[in-house]
Structure 1
Amino acid sequence: MPRHGTPGSSSTPSSPMRIQRRRFNAALAAGLGLPLSPAALAQFRVEISGIGATQLPVAVTRFREEDRSGQPISMIVRADLERSGLFRIVDSSGVLDERSAPEFGDWRGRAADALVAGSVTRLPDGRFDIRFKLWDVVKGQELLGQAYAVAEGDLRLAAHRIADAIHEKLTGERGVNATRIAYVTRASGVYRLHITDADGEGGKVPLTSPHSIISPAWSPDGRQLAYVSFEDQKAVVMVHDVQSGERRRLANFRGSNSAPAWSPDGKRLAVTLSRDRISQLYMMDAGGGEPRRLTTTSAIDTEAVFAPDGQTLYFVSDRGGSPQIYRMSAGGGAADRVTFTGGYNISPAVSPDGRTLAYVARDNGNAFRVMVLDMGGGTPVAVSDTTEDESPSFAPNGRLLMYATRAQGRDVLMTTTLDGKIRTRLLSTGVDVREPAWGPFNR
C-alpha cells in the first residue's frame, strides 16, 4: 500500500472509489488537498426504512395549538421515537391534550400500546409552556406527565427532550434525541462545521473556512470539538470551544497532524503525527505540550480511538500488509489484531459499553460498508445497504450508529440500529454532508 497516497482512488465522480477514506487517508496524505464532496448549509427531513423485530406501537397526537409556536412539536416527537427503531407510530388522529381523559378502548382498537398528547401555550413573557402526558393504553393508566417553559429558540430541544422522556419511561434506557451531532459541508470552496440536533436540524455553524475541515471529535463533556483544519496549508489539529468560539492549535508539528480522539476523562487526546516521516500514534495532554509517541513501527498507524475504560486504544495499521484494526494499551506497547475478515478495514468506533466495534470494510467489489463486530466473539455483520460508507459514530446510549454515505447521487448522513433493521436517512435539501460525529449526553 502506498505510504502517502490514496489506495485505489479514482477521479471518476461516480466511482465508489471517488470517496476518499477521510480519517484514514488524511493521516496518510494530509496536505495533498484530498477532494471533499461539495456541500452547503443543510436542512433535513427524515426518511425511515426497515422493520424492527419488536417495536412498541405508540400514538402521538397533534399538540394543541402547536401551530402557533412555529415548530411541529408532535411531528418531531414522532420522528425521534421512530428513528430509535424501538417504536412504531400508529394512527394518531384525534383531538386530545394533556388534560383529556382518553377513551382507551378506542386507542386499543387502533393497536396502540401507548398514547401521547399535549399542548403548547405562549406565555406573556414570550416563552412557551409545553405540557404532555403519556398513557399506558393497555392498562388504561397515566405513566408520565411533564411541563416545560422554554424560549422560542428552544422549542425543538424541548420536543427532543419530550421524546427522550417517553423513550426512557417505556424502555428504561436514555434516549439520545436531545444530544447533538457535528458534521462538515462544503459549497463553492467554502467549508462549514455544523453543530445541530441529533436529527440534523437546528443548530449553528461555529466555523466557516476556505480550507478543508475533517475528523471532528467531541470532548466527553460536550464543550469542545477537536478537528483537523488545513488553514495553515497542512493538516493541523485544532480544539474549538463550542460556547465561546475560541480556537487553539493543539498539534501543529512538522508534517501531518491528524485524527484526534479524546480520552474518556477529557484530559488527553490521541493524535496521528508524521513528524518522524511516517504516520504514527502519539498521546498529548488536552492543554497541549510535547506529544508522547505510542507506536514505533515502519507501518502507517492512525485513527486511534479510546475504549470506554480509557485504558485501551483501537487503531488502524497496515503493518500486516493491508489496513486492519488493532488494539493496544493506551500507554503504548504490543498490539493485537482485531479484524481478520476482509483485506481493508478502517475507521474504528467503539460503543459506549465497550462491547461492539463499528468500522468500515471494503469488500472484493470495492464497496465500502459499515460493519459491526461483537467483541465478545462472532463474525462481522454489515448494517448498511449502501456502498460508499464512511465515519461511523455511536450514539451515546450505544443503540444507534451514524455514518456518512452516498445515496441517489448525494452525500448524506444515515443512522442505523445495530442490527441494521431500521435505517434513517437525513435527507438534505440539495446539499452534500460528511464527517459526522455524535456528541455526548452533556449539553
Structure 2
Amino acid sequence: MGWLGATAVLPSWAQFRVEVTGVGLRQLPFAIVPFRGEAGSPEKISAIIRADLERSGQFRAIEPPGGLVMDETSRPDLTPWRQAGSDSLVAGSVTRLADGRFDVRFRLWDVVRGVDLGGQSFVAAQGDLRLAAHRFADYIYEKLTGERGIFSTRIAYVTKAGTRFNLWVADADGENPQSALASPEPIISPAWSANGTQLAYVSFESRKPVVYVHEVATGRRRLLANFRGSNSAPAWAPDGRTLAVTLSREGGSQLYTIDANGGEPRRLTQSASIDTEPVYAPDGRSIYFVSDRGGAPQVYRMPVAGGSPERVTFTGSYNISPAVSPDGRWLAYVSRVQGQFKLHVMELPSGAAVAITDTGADENPSFAPNGRLIVYATRQNGREALMTTTLDGKIKARLAGQGGDIREPDWGPFQR
C-alpha cells in the first residue's frame, strides 16, 4: 500500500493465517460464493471476506452448493439459499485489466426479504486487492449489523527474531505486514494516533528508553521524549495534540503530558509510587493508568488536568495494561491470577469484571475501533501468538505466524 515508504522483505514467520474458534449465540448466517474469475486472481477475494466476517464473531458461514456459478450481475433464485438457512448472499467477480490492475465487484442480497442490498466496485493494483476485499467486508458488515466494519483498519505490533526487533504495520487480519522500523535494540509500546497517520513508540537504540513519533506514510520520525532516566509508555490524546508519557526524570516513574511536537512536559501525578501505562478515555477528559500506590499494581483513573486518582480495579491483587473501549463502557486489562496473566474485561458503569481467556500469558489488550473485538498477545501451545477475541470471550481468532516473539499489538483507528 506504500503506507510505510519502503516495503520490507518479509521473513516467513511474519506471515499470519487466521483460525477462528468458538461459537456465539446470535451469529448471522451468510453465504458467499467464489467470485467469477477468482481462480486467476493472486488473492481469493471471497475467502478474505469470509474470514473477516467470521473473525468478527457476528457471522457464521453457510456452505454454498457445489458447482454454482454466479457474480454481481446475477439475479439469483434465493429460495435454495433460504432453505439452506442463509440470511444473506454475497457474489462478485475479479477481472484482470490490460494494464495489470484488477476490476473487483460484489453484490449483497438479503435472502430473507428478497432485497438487493447493493454492492461496490474497485479498480485495484495487485498489492491493493486485499484492501479491496477488506472494504467489501466492511460494507457487508455495516449493511447487516448497522455498525461500522473494522476490516480495512490496521494493527501495529512488534516481533523479535534472534537479536532483531521489528515494528510492523499490518492489515487487521495480520496479513500484508510492512516494516516501519527494524533495530538490534528493543522496540516497545507502539501507539496509534487518533487519525491513524502516526505511531508513537519506545526505542532502546540509544541504550535507554526514548519515545519517538513516526509518520506512517513517509517513515519520517521525530524524537518526542529523551529526558534524564526512562521515557516510556506513550499514549495519544483523542485530539492528537498531546501525549501522556511515563518519565523518571525526577526520580520515580510518574505520568506527564507533552505536546505532540515536543517541548517541556507537564507533570500529572505526584506520588512516591510507580505510576505508568497511561491511556486516555475516549472523551479525552480522564486518563486511566497503573499504580502500585496501594501496595500492588492496580488501575486508577484521574482527570486529564490532574487531581486525585480513583481506583478502578478491585478484583485481584495485580492488574495492569488498561485499554478503554471507544464508547467508554468497557475496560480491558491483564490480571495475575494464581501466577497466570489473564485478559479481563470490566463493564465500567457496574464494575463487573470477568476473565475471557483460558491462556496464562496474555498481554497488551487493544480494542478495535468499533469496540467489538480486542487484539492481544499471548502464548498458545508454547508459541507466541496474536489473538482477537469478542468481548464475551466466546469467539477467538489466532492471527499469529510460525515463529519469532510477537507482542505489543495496538489496533489502529478507522481509515479516514
TM range (shorter): over 0.9
Tell me how far 1:427 sits from its aligned partner.
3.3
Aligned partner of 2:275 in structure 1 is 301
Distance 1:290 1:378, change over 3 A: closer
SS of the aligned residue for 2:333 comes to strand
Aligned partner of 2:122 in structure 1 is 148
Describe how 1:395-414 pairs up with structure 2 within 5 A.
Answer: 395-414=368-387
Distance 1:178 1:305 in 2: 24
Aligned partner of 1:10 in structure 2 is none
Match of 1:290 among 264, 268, 288: 264
Distance 2:302 2:112 in 1: 50
Tell which deviates more after alignment, 199-208 or 90-99: 90-99
Distance 1:429 1:142 in 2: 41
SS of the aligned residue for 1:380 comes to strand
SS of the aligned residue for 1:149 comes to strand
Match of 1:118 among 92, 103, 118: 92
Distance 2:72 2:415 in 1: 29
Q: How many pairs align?
A: 404
SS of the aligned residue for 1:328 comes to strand
Query: What amino acid is the match of 2:340?
Result: A
Checking the alignment, whether the CA contact within 8 Å between 2:152 and 2:415 is kept in structure 1 is no
Describe how 1:306-317 pairs up with structure 2 within 5 A.
Answer: 306-317=280-291
Checking the alignment, whether the CA contact within 8 Å between 2:384 and 2:400 is kept in structure 1 is no
Tell me how far 1:378 sits from its aligned partner.
3.9
- Give yes or no for the alignment of 1:78 onto 2:50: yes
Aligned partner of 1:351 in structure 2 is 325
Tell me how far 1:263 sits from its aligned partner.
0.2
Tell me how far 1:383 sits from its aligned partner.
1.4
Match of 1:390 among 349, 353, 363: 363
Distance 1:101 1:136 in 2: 12
Aligned partner of 1:369 in structure 2 is 342
- Give yes or no for the alignment of 1:326 onto 2:303: no
Distance 1:92 1:101 in 2: 16
Query: What amino acid is the match of 2:18?
Result: V
- Give yes or no for the alignment of 1:49 onto 2:21: yes
Query: What amino acid is the match of 2:322?
Result: P
Query: What amino acid is the match of 2:272?
Result: S
Deviations along 1:179-218, one digit per CA (max 9) or x if unpaired, are 0000011112011110000000003101111010000000
Checking the alignment, whether the CA contact within 8 Å between 1:41 and 1:185 is kept in structure 2 is no
Checking the alignment, whether the CA contact within 8 Å between 2:13 and 2:402 is kept in structure 1 is no
Root mean square deviation of aligned Cα = 1.1
- Give yes or no for the alignment of 1:433 onto 2:401: no
Checking the alignment, whether the CA contact within 8 Å between 1:219 and 1:262 is kept in structure 2 is yes
Deviations along 1:126-172, one digit per CA (max 9) or x if unpaired, are 22111111001112221122211111110000000000000000011
Match of 2:36 among 64, 67, 79: 64
Tell me how far 1:367 sits from its aligned partner.
1.0
Distance 2:352 2:162 in 1: 43
Aligned partner of 2:133 in structure 1 is 159
- Give the 4+ runs in structure 1 shifted more than 4 A: none
* TM-score, length-scaled by structure 1: 0.90
Distance 1:421 1:245 in 2: 38
Checking the alignment, whether the CA contact within 8 Å between 1:132 and 1:145 is kept in structure 2 is yes
Match of 1:100 among 74, 77, 96: 74
Describe how 1:174-189 pairs up with structure 2 within 5 A.
Answer: 174-189=148-163
Checking the alignment, whether the CA contact within 8 Å between 1:176 and 1:395 is kept in structure 2 is yes
Tell me how far 1:332 sits from its aligned partner.
1.0
Aligned partner of 2:353 in structure 1 is 380
Query: What amino acid is the match of 1:89?
Result: A
Tell me how far 1:116 sits from its aligned partner.
0.2
- Give yes or no for the alignment of 1:253 onto 2:227: yes
Distance 1:145 1:242 in 2: 30
